[in-house]
């Protein structure tokens, strides 16, 4: 079963595009630098990008020496931008869901996914497919919404406890240990994501044959805090989890 194709919703797509264009965008400040920091040497590598979106990462992989990149995405709107703005003779874009990964021919040195895994219901099935698509010694590097974020859904309580000045003192948490579908609102109603605990993510990777080499939960440095003090809330609850796992 394929995941929800929310990115082809016009309202959602326009809202997401405007968000990505903002200088204060958390993806640009935290997720993307952390993801690229734990990638292996890309020289001569054959790479698969799951949920490639606009194709910006695919283009950057080529710039960093990758020999061939395949980007797949369920959203035709995203791929239209990718092909118009981030095309290259060494990049192939395919309109397909991650759940159909087994239909791709060939194998890869590196499989990467940026903020798409939390849209997938069958995480174990995806991990198994990624393992099968990787060459010996290959790597799976992905980012996702942090499990402390995916737990919420449309919760009916405040996510933060604040002081009399509106400053966040600590985050409020519920249902972390109850895994499964979360119905959320982000630009539009009924955006579906899937919550998994930290242990499920790590144990699933290990059970399917991966060795987890690196975990990152990005927080702001002094320079970012000086410019954007609101991001101090990431010390209470990180937005992103980034994982690097190697095929045994």
Domains and CATH numbers, the chain: 6-247 (3.40.50.150)
What pLDDT is stored for residue 153 in this prediction? Answer: 76
What pLDDT is stored for residue 1 in this prediction? Answer: 44
Kindly give the parts of the chain with pLDDT less than 70: 1-23, 154, 185-190
What pLDDT is stored for residue 183 in this prediction? Answer: 84
Both tokens of residue 57?
A: 């990462």
What pLDDT is stored for residue 148 in this prediction? Answer: 95
Best CA proximity match to 13, nearest among 57, 54, 69, 58: 54
Quote the distance between the C-alpha of residue 241 and its chain's center.
8
Entry pTM? 0.90
């Amino acid at each position: 079963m394929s995941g929800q194709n929310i990115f082809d919703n016009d309202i959602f797509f326009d809202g997401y595009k405007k968000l990505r264009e903002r200088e204060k965008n958390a993806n640009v400040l935290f997720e993307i630098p952390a993801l690229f920091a734990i990638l292996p040497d890309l020289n001569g590598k054959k790479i698969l990008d799951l949920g490639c979106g606009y194709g910006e990462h695919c283009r950057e992989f080529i710039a960093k020496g990758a020999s061939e990149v395949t980007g797949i995405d369920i959203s035709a709107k995203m791929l239209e931008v990718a092909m118009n703005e981030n095309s290259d003779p060494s990049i192939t874009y395919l309109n397909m869901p991650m759940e159909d990964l087994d239909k791709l021919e060939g194998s890869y040195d590196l499989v990467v996914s940026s903020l798409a895994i939390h849209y997938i219901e069958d995480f174990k099935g995806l991990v198994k497919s990624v393992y099968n698509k990787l060459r010996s010694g290959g790597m799976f590097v992905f980012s996702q919404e942090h499990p402390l974020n995916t737990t919420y859904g449309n919760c009916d309580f405040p996510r933060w406890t604040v002081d009399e000045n509106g400053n966040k003192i600590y985050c409020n948490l519920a249902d972390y240990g109850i895994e499964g579908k979360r119905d959320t609102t982000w630009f539009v109603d009924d955006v579906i994501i899937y919550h998994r605990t930290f242990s499920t993510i790590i144990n699933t990777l290990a059970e399917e044959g991966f060795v987890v080499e690196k975990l990152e939960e990005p927080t702001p440095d002094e320079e970012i805090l000086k410019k954007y003090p609101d991001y101090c809330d990431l010390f209470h609850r990180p937005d992103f989890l980034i994982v690097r796992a190697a095929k045994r």
